Amino acid sequence: EAQVTQNPRYLITVTGKKLTVTCSQNMNHEYMSWYRQDPGLGLRQIYYSMNVEVTDKGDVPEGYKVSRKEKRNFPLILESPSPNQTSLYFCASSVGQSNTEAFFGQGTRLTVV
């Protein structure tokens, strides 16, 4: 089954404790991205990757890092999480064409206390 898998689904952590949210897709998609969803703001892009070893900042990259060492994986790293990073996070992938739809993971609800 074609899918985007995120882990964990839920995470509660403390301020400053480094964490990684994993994302993996099995569709051989070139393009992957991370979004955060906050009430009233919709989805805002954090980082995206056009292909292996190619990443770039989205609209809200501060406090986040990503890497793309393999085509299927695109982890999101929070080196020192803060409470304002409490949010619902989504990973998405698509074929590397602008007219193709994105496939989304089921989301990771992160709470930073």
Contact residues for another protein (CB under 8 A)?
4, 31, 33, 35, 40-45, 48, 50, 56, 58-59, 90, 92, 96-99, 101-107
Q: What's the min distance (Å) between Cβ of 84 and another protein? A: 19
Instruction: Give bridge partners of residue 74 from the DSSP assignment.
Output: none
H helix count then E strand count, the chain: 0, 11
Q: What's the min distance (Å) between Cβ of 109 and another protein? A: 9
Nearer to another protein, 69 or 99 (CB): 99
Q: What's the min distance (Å) between Cβ of 16 and another protein? A: 28
Place of tokens 């964490």: 19
Nearer to another protein, 53 or 79 (CB): 53
Backbone torsions φ then ψ of 111, nearest 5 degrees = -120, 125
Residue 57 to residues 3, 66, 71, 90, Cα–Cα distance (Å): 24, 9, 18, 16
